[in-house]
Amino acid sequence: MELSWRTAKVLLAVVCLLAAFLFQASSAGSIISRIGERLGVGRGRSNNDEGATERPTMVDPELITLSEDLYKLDQARTGNAGKQQLDWTVNTRSSTGRLFTRMNDALLTKPTYAKFIALLDNYNPVLGRSEEVTPQERAEQSSFLDAIIATPVMQKAWTFLKSRGLAPSSQSGFKDLLQRIWFTIYKRRGQPDTSGFEHVFVGELDGGAPNAPVSGFHNWVRYYLEEKAGRAVFQRWKGQTDPDIYGLQFLWNGHPKIKSTMAVGESPEMSVAVLTTCFLTVPNNECKLRMGGAPVSVITHKWTTRSAQEFYVASAYYDS
């Protein structure tokens, strides 16, 4: 009888040890899983250097309606309605290093285009090197924001954001919001070296090495001007979705961009309206839209600080 009692105690001890082991393993797995989620590991999608997204979002019917309305307004304003008389053409099978085969440069003299182009030479593209913003450059930023806010496209986006409680009701407040999230200089590589506008619309180099890759650079006007100047060389077409959202691989001053996506033909105000709306509505995620009847996706990433009220655009681009 004594032997069976001792045996029972041994068995009980073994069972307790096994249970403790399994509990610890389960807890460790849970902790690792949570860490992975915080880092974005195994979650969402990534686009080369842009980072991972959160879990897929549901379709928002109001965003679908808004994006269709914005697209119609922009097409009518640029004269490309129905795509019957485009101001540009591209050759995605080009072997000459040039993507654009025709461009009506008169389009680029329109007020919002001209003010957008004035901003493009205000930046040092190398990450890790401090940016300095001059009074003249601040004036150019202010002039650009005034110009796009006055357009029907941006007014439409602003009305939507106000209805969601995501934008101030005053025009000055809305302008301040755009100024902060797009033009604030913050530290990406240890120095105040970047802004949302520079990353998305101008493009950056991930360091000063001769083969440093290109980061960001998702604007077609910027690409066209750099190609025209001989600084951008088209290499390969990497997919396309309607309406005119192109994926391409290119060299910029000899630096590789493995894949960039650009909505060719849209105005600067359309770019800012769409990307801002997605950034404020579904940050760090896929923003599902529709333009010209075609499904469109935008991915945005938020750069956060210790203050919940102080955040900036880290990246924002069309997905293809």
β-strand 186-187 against 100-103: which pairing, if any? unpaired
Using the predicted structure, report yes or no on whether residue 25 has a pLDDT greater than 90.
no
Is 257 among the residues known to form the active site?
A: yes
47: confidence class by pLDDT, cuts 50, 70, 90: very low
Rounded alpha-carbon distances, angstroms, from residue 135 to 102, 122, 283: 36, 11, 31
Interatomic CA distance for residues 220 and 263, integer angstroms? 7
Interatomic CA distance for residues 131 and 190, integer angstroms? 12
Rounded alpha-carbon distances, angstroms, from residue 93 to 22, 99, 103: 58, 8, 17
* pLDDT confidence of residue 95: 93
- Kindly report the CA angle at 178 between 122 and 207, in degrees rounded to 5? 40
Residues 320 and 246 sit within 8 Å (Cβ to Cβ): yes
Using the predicted structure, report yes or no on whether residue 177 has a pLDDT greater than 90.
yes
User: Which residues make beta-bridge pairs with 169?
Assistant: none
Q: Which of 115, 156, 255, 257 is catalytic?
A: 257
* pLDDT confidence of residue 154: 98
Using the predicted structure, report yes or no on whether residue 20 has a pLDDT greater than 70.
no
Residue environment code for 177-196, b if the CB has 16+ CB neighbours within 10 A, otherwise e? bbeebbbbbbebeeeebbbb
- Per the model's pLDDT, the better-predicted residue between 11 and 257 turns out to be 257
Q: What are the tens digits of pLDDT across the range 257-275?
A: 999 999 999 999 999 999 9
Find the mean pLDDT for residues 29-45.
Answer: 31
Tokens representing 126 are 């190398």
Using the predicted structure, report yes or no on whether residue 29 has a pLDDT greater than 80.
no
Is 162 among the residues known to form the active site?
A: no
Whether a cis peptide bond, with omega within 30° of 0, leads into 210 is no
Q: What are the tens digits of pLDDT across the range 111-139?
A: 999 999 999 999 999 999 999 999 999 99
Report pTM: 0.82
Q: Is the C-alpha dihedral spanning 75, 81, 82, 88 positive or negative?
A: negative
Using the predicted structure, report yes or no on whether residue 82 has a pLDDT greater than 90.
no
Is 301 among the residues known to form the active site?
A: no
- How would DSSP label each residue in the chain? -HHHHHHHHHHHHHHHHHHHHHHHHHHHHHHHHHHHHHHTTTSS-B-GGG-B--SPPPP-HHHHHHHHHHHHHHHHHHT-GGGSS-SEEE-TT-SSS--EEEE-GGGGGSHHHHHHHTTTTS---BTTS-----HHHHHHHHHHHHHHHTSHHHHHHHHHHHHTT-S-SSHHHHHHHHHHHHH--EESSSSEEE-HHIIIII-EESSSSTTPPEE----HHHHHHHHHTTSEEEEEEEEEETTTEEEEEEEETTEEEEEEEEETT--HHHHHHHHHHHHHHSTTSEEEEEETTEEEEEEEEEEE-SSTT-EEEEEEEEE-
Task: Compute the mean pLDDT over every residue in the chain, rounded to the nearest whole number.
Answer: 85
Lowest mean pLDDT among 10-19, 244-253, 283-292, 307-316: 10-19
* C-alpha Rg value of the chain to the nearest Å: 25
Q: Which of 115, 156, 199, 301 is catalytic?
A: 199
Using the predicted structure, report yes or no on whether residue 296 has a pLDDT greater than 70.
yes
Rounded alpha-carbon distances, angstroms, from residue 184 to 177, 181, 208, 217, 307: 10, 6, 22, 18, 15
Using the predicted structure, report yes or no on whether residue 55 has a pLDDT greater than 70.
no
Residue 279 burial by Cβ neighbours in a 10 Å radius (0-12, 13-18, 19+): buried
Q: Which of 115, 218, 255, 301 is catalytic?
A: 218
Question: Residue 245, Cα to own-chain centre: how many angstroms?
Answer: 14
Using the predicted structure, report yes or no on whether residue 300 has a pLDDT greater than 50.
yes
Q: What are the tens digits of pLDDT across the range 190-243?
A: 999 999 999 999 999 999 999 999 999 999 999 999 999 999 999 999 988 888
Q: What are the tens digits of pLDDT across the range 204-214?
A: 999 999 999 99
